[in-house]
Amino acid sequence: MRRGELTRALDLLRDSLDAVDLVLDIPGVEAAREARLELHNQLDDYVLPRVQAAGTPLLVVLGGSTGAGKSTLVNTLVGSRVSATGVLRPTTSSPILVCHPDHTDWFMEGPMLPGMGRVRGPAPDAIAGDQLVVIASDTLPPGLALLDSPDFDSVFEDHYEFATKLMAAADLWLCVTTAARYADAQVWQMLERARDNGATIGVVLSRVPQGAGAEVVEHFNAMLGEHEVGDTRRFTIPETRIEDSRLPEESIEDIRAWLLGVAGDVEDREIVVEDTLAAVLDSFRTRVPEIAAQVEAQVEQRAELGRLVESSYGTALAELDEATRNGSLLRGEVLARWQDFAGTGDLMRALHVRRSRSPFARKSSRRRTAPSRVRALKAALRAGLESLILSSAEHAAEQVLASWRAHPVGDQVMAKVPAAALGTASPELSRRVTRAVSSWQDHVQELVRTEGVTKRSVAKLVSFDPEALALVLMIGLLGYGTSEVSVESGNSAVPQRLLRALFGAESLRGMGAKARADLRSRIGMLFDEEAIRFGQALDSAGIPDETVPVRLRQAAHHLEVAR
């Protein structure tokens, strides 16, 4: 095992887990949060310290239900009362670790279980909190350390958390239960959890009654097989007297012999440690993808909310595109200004007959300024477009907000972001719309000037004012002459007819397509900028994006390569 590469791969996996934030309350998320935390803790508490500090003592963690006799077993193995026992439950409030004096400093200052405080023993009976009590004992060999953990079925929730945390940090987890409690669901949940997390497991069935012991043991062994932990090492302790918080020596001889045999031989001890470490790393092959799958479920929820944003603004853009084709914009002020412009002769004056080819005549034509009616029509057209775009953007924002609120996780996102900030167009949109519409009008005028090549037969007689003719092109593009727009008799020819007469159908189609595409592009960019706010809301809510599960799976792959 290349420990340097393995350490780097494990660090990468831990960093990838740090980036996982399962913020949405969706089915399965609680289990995934717990699995992520447990995996992260196991990396810090056990895997990385084990990889980086080979040759340290075998850590045997005793876990079990309330009153199973863990502390009594520890006291018996040590040969003195180091862990409190008694009728009050739970008795062990803080984990008690007993090791040879040569290893006390390593357990006090070493990397294992970095999140827990350390207290040197002996420990009083009433220590509480997440303090690891480290006690030195000459009766234990240098290669063995025993840790009495809090009861995993304690009424205190933090005891359960400590028990599971310590179980994940064990080289060998010794589950202690009784003949009266072995069928409890939590016993088997913890055994299956230890199995899935890769622990080497031993089980102790204590307080087995005389007479009916064989039947109890047979049923217990059958249940071990049913729960797929049948290959664990098994021990029984009969119902017997307890003196000075200790069992009779003969009742635990086989347990002592097993532990001392494994820990006393360096090669055997390393085999157990390596087997446990390998099994833990093997468990990552399923545990990491399961977490990644839950992250992907969160990513999909984010994607669904994003698609609702795209749909709302896409619909608004399509509706606005139709509104700029069907003539609905050419009402009120815009239509009045157009009829004023076209019906008073300003349109025809924008086209003048070339009666002189003198330099003076050409110079005077260039100096002409746009009539006031041209400026008024241009301003009315700009204001109408601005109003239409702003209205569409407001409606799109309202639609996004409504669709988010109807989505299963939408309320969770909205709880983190003020709805007032999203349910309307952004404050700066009006300024951007004004700039975009003005730029579009300038673009259309430039198209007329540079691409509006007049038909040869007309060009001999007529020149035109680009600004005025650009307005004619805009009016035509916006649907003037459709059935929805009333045209007063005598105002002018339909703009398209005039434009075809000047430029020809092909040239007109080219200019019209470019002008319409440019308008749609500008509005689309405005809507894209508006939609960014909703993406930022998703970011601020902490919902992971698609890169998070990818990094997690890549980290798991790098770990496999490093192994």
What pLDDT, on the 0 to 100 scale, is given for residue 347? 65
HSE-CB at 114 with a 13 A cutoff on CA atoms is: 12
- Residues 236, 63: Cα–Cα separation, whole Å: 15
Structure tokens at 55: 């040759």
- Residues 237, 367: Cα–Cα separation, whole Å: 112
Residues 361, 255 share a domain = no
- Residues 380, 388: Cα–Cα separation, whole Å: 12
Structure tokens at 309: 């944003």
Cβ neighbours of 243 (radius 10 Å) = 8
- Residues 6, 400: Cα–Cα separation, whole Å: 47
- Is there a domain that residue 311 lies in? no
Q: Tokens 């290349």 appear where?
A: 2
Residues 329, 258 share a domain = no
- Is there a domain that residue 422 lies in? yes
Instruction: Please give the biggest Cα pair distance in the chain.
Output: 131
- Residues 54, 49: Cα–Cα separation, whole Å: 8
Residues 344, 242 share a domain = no
Residues 257, 116 share a domain = yes
Domain end marker among 216, 238, 264: 264
Residues 340, 228 share a domain = no
Question: How far apart, in Å, do the first and last CA atoms of the chain sit?
Answer: 6
- Residues 37, 31: Cα–Cα separation, whole Å: 10
* Sign of the four-CA dihedral 269, 270, 276, 280: positive
- Is there a domain that residue 21 lies in? no
Between the alpha carbon of residue 519 and those of residues 30, 317, 325, 386, the distances in Å are 49, 11, 12, 12
The crossing angle, in degrees rounded to 10, of helices 372-406 and 266-323 is 140
Residues 457, 332 share a domain = yes
- Residues 562, 4: Cα–Cα separation, whole Å: 9
Residues 246, 127 share a domain = yes
Domain limits for position 443: 324-543
Residue 141's contacts (CB-CB under 8 Å, 6 or more residues apart) are 100, 260, 263, 264
Cis bond before residue 90 (omega within 30° of 0)? yes
Query: Residue 450 phi/psi, 5° resolution?
Result: -95, -30
What pLDDT, on the 0 to 100 scale, is given for residue 352? 55
What pLDDT, on the 0 to 100 scale, is given for residue 493? 44
Cβ neighbours of 140 (radius 10 Å) = 23
Residues 333, 259 share a domain = no
Q: Are strands 233-238 and 462-464 parallel, antiparallel or unpaired?
A: unpaired
- Indicate the DSSP class of residue 63: E
- Is there a domain that residue 385 lies in? yes
- Is there a domain that residue 304 lies in? no
Query: Residue 368 phi/psi, 5° resolution?
Result: -65, 140
What is the mean pLDDT of each successive set of 10 residues along the chain, which is 563 residues long? 85 96 94 94 92 84 88 92 58 79 90 85 60 90 91 69 86 93 91 87 92 87 92 92 90 93 85 90 95 97 96 96 85 83 67 48 45 88 95 95 93 80 90 96 89 54 73 83 46 60 77 92 96 91 93 96 90
Residues 361, 249 share a domain = no
Q: Are 190 and 161 in contact (CB under 8 A)?
A: no
Give how many domains the chain has, as a whole number: 2
Residues 239, 375 share a domain = no
What pLDDT, on the 0 to 100 scale, is given for residue 220? 93
Burial class (CB in 10 A: 0-12, 13-18, 19+), 134: buried
- Is there a domain that residue 9 lies in? no
What pLDDT, on the 0 to 100 scale, is given for residue 487? 44
- Residues 480, 494: Cα–Cα separation, whole Å: 7
Between the alpha carbon of residue 477 and those of residues 53, 116, 325, 326, 470, the distances in Å are 77, 73, 6, 9, 10
Query: Residue 164 phi/psi, 5° resolution?
Result: -70, -35
CATH assignment of the domain containing 250 = 3.40.50.300
Residues 523, 398 share a domain = yes
What pLDDT, on the 0 to 100 scale, is given for residue 342? 73
- Is there a domain that residue 177 lies in? yes
- Is there a domain that residue 318 lies in? no
Domain end marker among 264, 286, 312: 264
- 3-class secondary-structure state, position 233: strand
Residues 133, 243 share a domain = yes
- Residues 33, 46: Cα–Cα separation, whole Å: 19
* Amino acid identity at 292: A
Domain end marker among 244, 264, 284: 264
